[in-house]
Structure 1
Amino acid sequence: MLESITKYKDTPIGKIPMDWEVRKFKECAKFYSGGTPITSKKEYYGGNVPFIKSGEIYNNITGQFLTKEGLDNSSAKMVQKGDLLYALYGANSGEVAISKINGAINQAILCIKPEAEFCETNYLSNFLILEKSNIVQKYLQGGQGNLSADIIKNLFVPLPPLPEQQKIAEVLSTWDKAIKETSSIIKSLEKRNKALAFSMLTGKKRLKEFQGVKTKPVQIKDIAQEISLKNKSDEDYVVFSCTKYNGLVPSLEYFGKKIYSENLTTYKIIKKNQFAYATNHIEEGSMGILERENIGLISPMYTVFDFNLGVNRDYIFKMLKTDFYINEYKRRMEGSIDRRGGLRWSEFSKINIYLPSLEEQNKIAEIVNTANKELQQYQQKLNNLKTQKKGLMQQLLTGKVRVKF
């Protein structure tokens, strides 16, 4: 299916196969953007015309619908299923997708309609995906800002013969299908794992061998204590930040620059296997265990605590990170008189937790870890597929490797 070639020619975008050509985007496709009807005109909204925003170009699940009057009396434009959509504004500037529905677009989306005699939609979609990093690096400072239709219109596009474009798109669609299927499995596993963690870590579901064994909830303060040890001698330990998804990570590594104080004497000392949470942001799930160093430093705005013997730390940590407990943190913060103080130990330590025997804790943690490992394997598979596709795109869309057609 794939074969190498040796004959190239020089072009404005580098060497390409002799039988390919290079055109500016505006020479091989038509472009238009939409607009937004006046929001104060209630009669323009609530109809049956899906109104697609830049953040919705992937799934086209829209939050708004326009009436025919709203469409007719605004600069919103219709796109058809199968049209190529490009996000110009917003957090996902530079993203590209093919519309799954007929609907209207606003000014943040560029609709691209290829000229059938020159190019094919799926081929151009893959070209724009490959070019995204170059476009973002050149035109968006730090990923922030807006693109314009003129930027896209003036891009040089390498164009193989149409049959080859179609074959390239067909080859790459094999990876797209695998990526989609793997992503679907990951979503199912994430949903399953969340339900499993909730049911087992809160005692809603018991292992067969422990059914009938009564377990009373305990308050955190009954099995743990706050630790407030300051770095008075100004030791040069690694400073850690508490993150929502990755727990405690070295601050320099996480932020890529130094954001903490030069004077570390007010920072708290945390020792290996001790817990910490962001006192003012625990409702986001910002909690971690120190695992990478024997001793570290954290902001004085964090709360450090540790558990007594007889608990499985992995079990406890997973339990405290479930949505059930995150919602409990939110509830307690909202009910606090001094909300600016976040969730301090005095209130956090009153939370009831489900604590079965150490044997049951160990088995629950093992089951949850096994489920998470399966999810991680599929996440790694997804990363591998995306890497493979990117490498293949770099070969096929530059003509370094040709497809037989």
Structure 2
Amino acid sequence: MFARPNPKAVLPEYLAEYTNSAVGKQHVVGNKGGLALQHFNVGAYKEMLVLLPPLPQQRKIVELLRTWDGAIEKLEALRAAKLRRHRALTHSLVFGTRQLDRFRTTDEVAAHRWFTLPATWGIKPIGKLAREISERNGDAEQHEVLSCSKYDGFVRSLEYFKKQVFSADLSGYKRIWRGDFGFPSNHIEEGSIGLQNLTDVGVVSPIYTVFRFAPEKVDADYAFAVLKTGLYRHIFEVSTSASVDRRGSLRWSEFSKLPFPLPSLAEQRAIAEVLGTAQTDLDALNTEIEALTRQKRGLMQKLLTGEWRVSP
């Protein structure tokens, strides 16, 4: 859809800001609740009511909002750079290509099918380090429903999807305790695997595979870092394609055969601590971006409704 604004009445930049604002969407005729921009049609756009201050004030409003956009864009670029560094750091630490000094005793390495590890590290199938958990919820107390996202791991389903996407009957769902891992068997090749650290006990769909690492062998935070790497996403994809299930699923019987890098438990915990510190830095940056975004929305509301006047 293309529209050419009347330059004597409205600046294109002001109209763009107004159209993308909650104020603009609330003024679409017949839709007081607002429309997503991608759902605008020509008729609705033509009928949209626009609050128009004089051109000099429009220009000043655009200038103010652009200042906030610039600050947000700089933080987002910083976040993207830090995220790339965090992924590179994770890969180098969990596979030992960059071993922490106090644990490095030799430069010798051992090559395996998927990765090369320090010679002092072990490697075992996941099934030798973890066991599957199949605890049905039954008719007991109703627990919070969780889902697994490809980037963040476990999320609260209602908060994430903004609506109920799960069954009203949770008796057939699986319990997943704090510290357990889980993945939807038909989406793990996308990287959807997580460590449940949101609640003491939650429930997940019956299609999930739930498992628990032996704490005397594997640190859960280290394991989560390993399983969320791009390399393991590739391993999941290849293993799903080769699965005897042949329905785009990876069941525990095949998943448990996948290799897992195994430094000492002390080194696992040290790696997890380093990565946790880096993640805290990323989380703080995310919080700052979210705060600025909310502040910009509030500023738009004030400026575009005329509640706050600006001097050109």
The residue number in structure 1 matching 2:9 is 118
Mean CA deviation greater in 172-181 or 299-308: 299-308
* Aligned counterpart in structure 2 of residue 287 of structure 1, from 193, 198, 201: 193
Question: What do the CA deviations read for 1:83-115 (whole angstroms, capped 9, x no partner)?
Answer: xxxxxxxxxxxxxxxxxxxxxxxxxx32x3332
SS of residue in 1 equivalent to 2:263: coil
CA distance in 2: counterparts of 1:225 and 1:147, whole angstroms: 51
**Root-mean-square deviation (Å):** 2.7
Q: Which residue of structure 2 aligns with residue 240 of structure 1?
A: 145
Give a deviation string over 1:311-355, Cα, whole Å, max 9, x none: 211110121111111110110010123222611112111111212
Greater shift, 213-222 or 311-320, is seen at 213-222
Contact 1:119/1:159, CA 8 A, preserved across alignment: yes
Q: Which moved more, 1:293-302 or 1:280-289?
A: 293-302
Mind listing any 5+ residue stretches in structure 2 that lack a counterpart? 107-119
Q: Over residues 191-216 of structure 1, what are the superposed CA-to-partner deviations in whole Å (9 max), with x where a residue is unaligned? A: 11111111212222211222235212
Residue type of the alignment partner of 2:175 = I
The structure that is helix-richer by fraction is 2
| C-alpha deviation, 1:238, in angstroms | 1.0
User: Contact 1:136–1:143 at 8 Å: present in 2 too?
Assistant: no
Q: CA 1:378–1:290 in 2, change beyond 3 Å: closer, same or farther?
A: closer
The 1:140/1:158 distance shift into structure 2, 3 A limit, reads closer
SS in 2 for 1:174: helix
Number of aligned residue pairs: give it.
Answer: 294
Is 1:298 aligned to 2:204, yes or no?
yes
Q: Which among 324, 333, 339 is matched to residue 246 of structure 2?
A: 339
Q: Among 298, 304, 310, which residue is 1:391 paired with? A: 298
Residue in 2 aligned with 1:205?
98
CA distance in 2, matches of 1:141, 1:404: 29
Residues 339 and 383 from structure 1, CA distance in 2 versus in 1: closer, same or farther, beyond 3 angstroms? Answer: same
SS in 1 for 2:154: strand
Cα distance, 1:269–1:161 mapped onto 2, change above 3 Å: closer
- CA distance 1:149–1:237, change in 2 (3 Å): closer
Do 2:175 and 2:204's aligned partners in 1 also have CA atoms closer than 8 Å? yes
Distance 2:33 2:239 in 1: 41
More strand by share: 1
Question: In structure 2, how many angstroms separate the alpha carbons of the residues matched to 1:289 and 1:164?
Answer: 51
Paired position in structure 1 for 2:58: 165
Q: Percent identity?
A: 37
Deviations 1:231-264 (A, max 9, x none): 46x3224153331144334545555336226261
- Relative to structure 1, is the Cα distance of residues 163 and 390 closer, same or farther in structure 2, using a 3 angstrom cutoff? same
Question: Which fold has the larger relative contact order, with Cα–Cα distance below 8 Å and residues 6 or more apart in sequence?
Answer: 2
Task: Report the alpha carbon displacement of residue 185 of structure 1 after superposing the two structures with TM.
Answer: 0.8
Aligned to 1:372: 279
Residues in 2 aligned to 1:307 and 1:297: alpha-carbon distance in whole angstroms: 18
Letter in 1 for 2:241: E
What are the superposed Cα offsets for residues 105-162 of structure 1, whole Å, 9 maximum, x if unpaired?
Answer: xxxx32x333222221221121112145435992999959843222212222222222
Which residue identity lines up with residue 226 of structure 2 in the other structure? Answer: M
Query: 5+ unaligned residues in a row in structure 1: which ranges?
Result: 1-108
State how far apart, in whole Å, the 2-side matches of 1:300 and 1:180 are. Answer: 41
Distance in 2 (CA, whole Å) between partners of 1:281 and 1:259 is 16
- Where do residues 121-200 of structure 1 align in structure 2 (5 Å cutoff)? 121-130=12-21, 131=23, 133-134=25-26, 135=28, 138=31, 146-200=39-93
Aligned in 2, Cα 1:252/1:184: closer, same or farther, shift over 3 Å?
A: closer
Task: Note closer, same or farther for the CA distance 1:128–1:334 as it changes in structure 2 (3 Å cut).
Answer: same
Partners of 1:140 and 1:401 lie apart in 2 by: 23
**Residue type matched to 1:343 in 2?**
L
Partner amino acid, structure 2, of 1:204 = T
In terms of Rg, which structure is larger?
1
2:178–2:197 CA contact under 8 A, matched in 1: yes
Is the CA contact (8 Å cut-off) linking 1:238 and 1:250 kept in structure 2? no
Hey, what does 1:215 align to over in structure 2? 121
CA–CA separation in structure 1 for the residues paired with 2:97 and 2:12: 51
In 2, distance between residues paired with 1:263 and 1:370?
37
Q: Which moved more, 1:164-173 or 1:202-211?
A: 202-211
Structure 1 stretch 142-151 or stretch 320-329: which is displaced more? 142-151
